[in-house]
């Protein structure tokens, strides 16, 4: 797919999830806010947030692949930017850490997600949490605004990750840092799985090789890059078999390819005195 086709697919899929989330919060069926009823469970990588201060279940759609806010070294009074903020889950956890003197800004390109996040912020009475409609590859933010950038299983969805990390470096203050959770690969996915639009929106088909992902961060100017957490992700066989035939499935299982969830820390260099 071309970059604009990828973005359109992602917006459509996540728009559908946002529109259905309210209905599913009130039901006992399906997968707690995912789009699994239509064929793909986008919550299969998610982790539990219930133990974190600031967690709000109505903002949690289960669409992440880690908990970057738990590793992000967020301090009181910090300005935090969450990329791909969805209904506000990580923003509200970050808000509990920055307190009343800090600021949290969420950016998302899906209108219905931004609308839902704003509704949640109003309901919770938070005046220092702002949600902006925008493209992570061209953020509507000024230079050197953020003490911390977080993102949860979103950068992987972007067609131009190089541009995205350059934007992250731009909005970070000198000496500031990021902690992002994302899906990466060791080895190659079957061709048909790579081409599946639904699995791209599910954070799989667009996954970069782990070393390539880290190189993109390094080449954007970030330093002190550390993998804070890594875990292997298993996609259920029944999902894989929707996209590949039996022979491709068996070859993939024997290939040693790993789908990984990683949480990565990095810093923007301080200015030279």
User: What confidence tens digit (pLDDT) does each residue in 209-254 have?
Assistant: 999 999 999 999 999 999 999 999 888 888 888 888 899 889 988 9
- Which structural domain, as residue segments, surrounds residue 104? 3-267
pLDDT the model gives residue 25 = 39
Asked which of 103-107, 109-113, 269-273 is least confident by mean pLDDT, the reply is 269-273
Whether 81 has a pLDDT exceeding 90, the answer reads yes
Query: Does 34 have pLDDT greater than 60?
Result: no
Question: What's residue 43's pLDDT?
Answer: 67
In a domain, 110, yes or no: yes
pLDDT at 203 over 70: no
Judge whether 218 lies within some domain: yes
Mean pLDDT in residue range 28-49: 53
Q: Is residue 163 part of a domain?
A: yes
Residue 234 domain-assigned? yes
* Exposure of 222 in the CB half-sphere (CA atoms within 13 A): 30
In a domain, 243, yes or no: yes
In a 3-state reduction of DSSP, which class is residue 115? helix
Q: Is the pLDDT of residue 48 over 70?
A: yes
- Mean pLDDT (the chain) is 85
- In this prediction, residue 28 carries a pLDDT of 28
15-30 per-position pLDDT tens digit: 777 676 654 433 322 2
6 or 119, higher pLDDT: 119
Residue 36: the pLDDT is 38
Burial class (CB in 10 A: 0-12, 13-18, 19+), 159: middle
Asked if residue 236 belongs to a domain, the reply is yes
Which residue is listed with tokens 């935090």?
A: 80
Copy the structure tokens of residue 140. 């509507």
pLDDT tens for 84-103 read 999 999 999 999 999 999 99
Residue 170 and residue 254: Cα distance in Å, rounded? Answer: 42
What's the pLDDT at 197?
Answer: 56
Would residue 273 count as lying in a domain?
Answer: no
CATH number at residue 83: 3.40.50.150
Check if the beta carbon of residue 243 is closer than 8 Å to that of residue 193: yes
Provide the whole-model pTM. 0.87
Q: Is residue 272 part of a domain?
A: no
Alpha-carbon distances of 73 from 78, 80, 177, 263, rounded to whole Å: 10, 11, 9, 13
Q: Which two tokens stand for residue 202?
A: 């599910």
Domain count for the chain = 1
């Amino acid at each position: 797919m071309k970059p604009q086709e990828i973005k359109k697919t992602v917006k459509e899929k996540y728009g559908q999830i946002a529109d259905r989330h309210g209905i599913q919060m009130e039901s006992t069926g399906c997968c707690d806010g995912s789009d699994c009823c239509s064929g793909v469970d986008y919550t299969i990588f998610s982790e539990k947030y219930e133990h974190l201060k600031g967690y709000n279940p109505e903002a949690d759609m289960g669409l992440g692949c880690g908990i970057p806010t738990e590793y992000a070294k967020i301090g009181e009074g910090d300005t935090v930017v969450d990329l791909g903020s969805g209904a506000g889950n990580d923003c509200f956890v970050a808000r509990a850490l920055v307190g009343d003197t800090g600021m949290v800004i969420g950016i998302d390109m899906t209108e219905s997600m931004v609308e839902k996040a704003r509704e949640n912020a109003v309901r919770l009475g938070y005046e220092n949490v702002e949600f902006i409609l925008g493209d992570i590859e061209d953020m509507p933010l000024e230079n050197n605004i953020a003490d911390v950038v977080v993102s949860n299983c979103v950068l992987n969805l972007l067609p131009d990750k190089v541009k995205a990390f350059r934007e992250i470096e731009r909005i970070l203050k000198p000496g500031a840092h990021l902690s992002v959770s994302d899906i990466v690969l060791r080895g190659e996915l079957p061709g048909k799985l790579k081409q599946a639009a639904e699995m791209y929106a599910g954070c799989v088909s667009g996954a970069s090789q782990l070393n390539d992902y880290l190189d993109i961060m390094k080449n954007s100017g970030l330093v002190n890059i550390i993998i804070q957490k890594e875990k292997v992700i298993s996609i259920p066989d029944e999902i894989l078999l929707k996209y590949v035939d039996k022979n491709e499935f068996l070859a993939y299982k024997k290939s040693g390819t790993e789908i990984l969830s990683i949480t990565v820390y990095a810093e923007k260099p301080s200015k030279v005195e």
